[in-house]
Amino acid sequence: MKNNSYRGLLVWQTFFIVFGIVTSAFISRYHWKENFTKQVEEQLEHSLTTFIKVYDTKYVLLENVCNFSQKKSSSRLTLIRDNGVVVCDSNTSAEEMDNHNSRPELILAKKNSWGSAIRYSDTLKQDMFYGAIQWKTEKGIFYLRESIQISAMERTLTKVDKYIFIVLIPFLIVFSILSILLWHRYEVKKQEQLDRLKVDLVSNISHEVRTPLTSIKGFVQLLVSTESELSPNAKESLSKIEKNTNRLNSLFTEILDLNKVEKRKTTTIEEVDLEIMVDSILSNMNLIYKEKNIETVLNLESNIIKSDYELLEHILVNLIENAFKYNKDNGEVTITSSSAGSKTLIIISDTGNGIAPNHQERIFERFYRVDDARNSGTGGSGLGLAIVKHSVSHLNGEITFESKIDFGSHFKVLI
């Protein structure tokens, strides 16, 4: 839940930052264009104002005014009468040009003595910037119009656009990826820290509990030794205390085992005699589950295998113990091993209760127990198979199983 809200916050934060940067880039571009146009207009107005001030219409023919622009290829001069008739034009012959009364820059100039407009020129076939100034002479009112190509301005704007796409967009992509990576690193670190805390807490509690538990066990054993002096009721209670103390003890041992396996970072590979290990486990199990009268069948092909002793022991102890624990009375446990390429395949089969299909997916989860009538009283903790799974994965192995209710189970370990 907390994870999701952090993720949501980060996505929104990244979105707003990216949105903010893109929006400000486009707003800046817009303002830059506005400023540029304004500057061009001011320059044009200034140069035309100066021009009509210095141009002496008494001595120089008005029709010659357009010749002043010929040197400047990007600029064009047009002289227009107050009635819209073109007197001269630096690029085109005046006779070919229509009445200019309806031109926006001229309409504005008639009103305010200066007018400007950006539009497409049919004569020059491109976008132009037009600035027209009112020119009062002794020969009447004229309008001197200068038009300049705005391709130069467009070129600069294209550069700005390129800057936005080549610099800004990759920057934003890198920025977004970096934010996601940073968030991911933060989450992984946080999870690792939490896991460490959890493992440490559980292991500290287990250690703390085991000390008084050992002392309780000792006192119980002391009392058991004086059994003859006890009443039948006290004897029964004592046996219950002993049983439960043993259960608690094995539960905390398994918790510590699981923690140890989970914390493990390295493996110590050595030559392990599988037969010796299996024999020792079996003699122990035969003792614990003596009443069940389980028959064991051994079929070990590859005896000496290269593995981590402690991890392999965890795997075999838990799987073999389950094969005994969940077996029927007078049942059978078969252990086989064979080499499979560079690995070893170990199969532990039993003729027990089997695991119902609806439980099969979850039996490797910690504390998961199939708690039904057939398993009642087995007293497991639900940690055995979790220890097996972690140990197998530390050894880069694989564990699979097949199980049929009332027929038994086969656990296959490839390590």
User: Residues in the site for ligand ADP, rule: CB under 6 A?
Assistant: 318, 322-323, 326, 350, 352-355, 363, 368-370, 375, 380-386, 409
CB of 281: closest distance to ligand ADP in angstroms?
14
Cβ-defined contacts of 51-54 (< 8 Å, 24+) = 51/144, 52/133, 52/135, 52/144
Q: What is the CA radius of gyration of the chain?
A: 47
Question: Which residue's CB is nearer to ligand ADP, number 334 or number 375?
Answer: 375
**DSSP character string of 6-46:** HHHHHHHHHHHHHHHHHHHHHHHHHHHHHHHHHHHHHHHHH
CB of 227: closest distance to ligand ADP in angstroms?
30
3-state helix, strand, coil in the chain (%, to 5): 55, 20, 20
Bridge partners, 346 (sequence order):
337, 413
Question: Which residue's CB is nearer to ligand ADP, number 103 or number 314?
Answer: 314
CB of 375: closest distance to ligand ADP in angstroms?
5
Smallest CA-to-CA distance from 319 within 307, 327, 330 is with 327
H helix and E strand count, the chain? 9, 12
Q: What is the 3-state secondary structure (H, E, C) of 81-97?
A: ECCCCEEEECCCCHHHC
Question: Which residue's CB is nearer to ligand ADP, number 234 or number 405?
Answer: 405
Tokens of 46: 């200034």
Report whether 268 contacts 309 (CB < 8 A): yes
CB of 310: closest distance to ligand ADP in angstroms?
18
Please, which residues have CB within 8 angstroms of residue 36's CB and are 6 or more apart in sequence? 153, 156, 157
Tokens of 292: 């069940």
CB of 315: closest distance to ligand ADP in angstroms?
11
Question: Which residue's CB is nearer to ligand ADP, number 136 or number 243?
Answer: 243
CB of 328: closest distance to ligand ADP in angstroms?
11
Question: Which residue's CB is nearer to ligand ADP, number 75 or number 351?
Answer: 351
Question: Which residue's CB is nearer to ligand ADP, number 131 or number 380?
Answer: 380
* Residue 38 CB coordination number (10 Å): 11
CB of 314: closest distance to ligand ADP in angstroms?
11
Question: Which residue's CB is nearer to ligand ADP, number 119 or number 362?
Answer: 362
Please, which residues have CB within 8 angstroms of residue 58's CB and are 6 or more apart in sequence? 138
Question: Which residue's CB is nearer to ligand ADP, number 25 or number 388?
Answer: 388
What single-letter DSSP state applies at residue 367? T
Tell me which residue has its CB nearest to ligand ADP: 380
Question: Which residue's CB is nearer to ligand ADP, number 62 or number 355?
Answer: 355
Could you give the CA distance from residue 284 to residue 287 in angstroms, rounded to a whole number?
A: 5
CB of 347: closest distance to ligand ADP in angstroms?
12
Residue type for 206, please? S
Question: Which residue's CB is nearer to ligand ADP, number 77 or number 258?
Answer: 258
Tokens of 52: 């009509």
CB of 405: closest distance to ligand ADP in angstroms?
9
CB of 381: closest distance to ligand ADP in angstroms?
4
- Residue listed under structure tokens 């392990």: 272
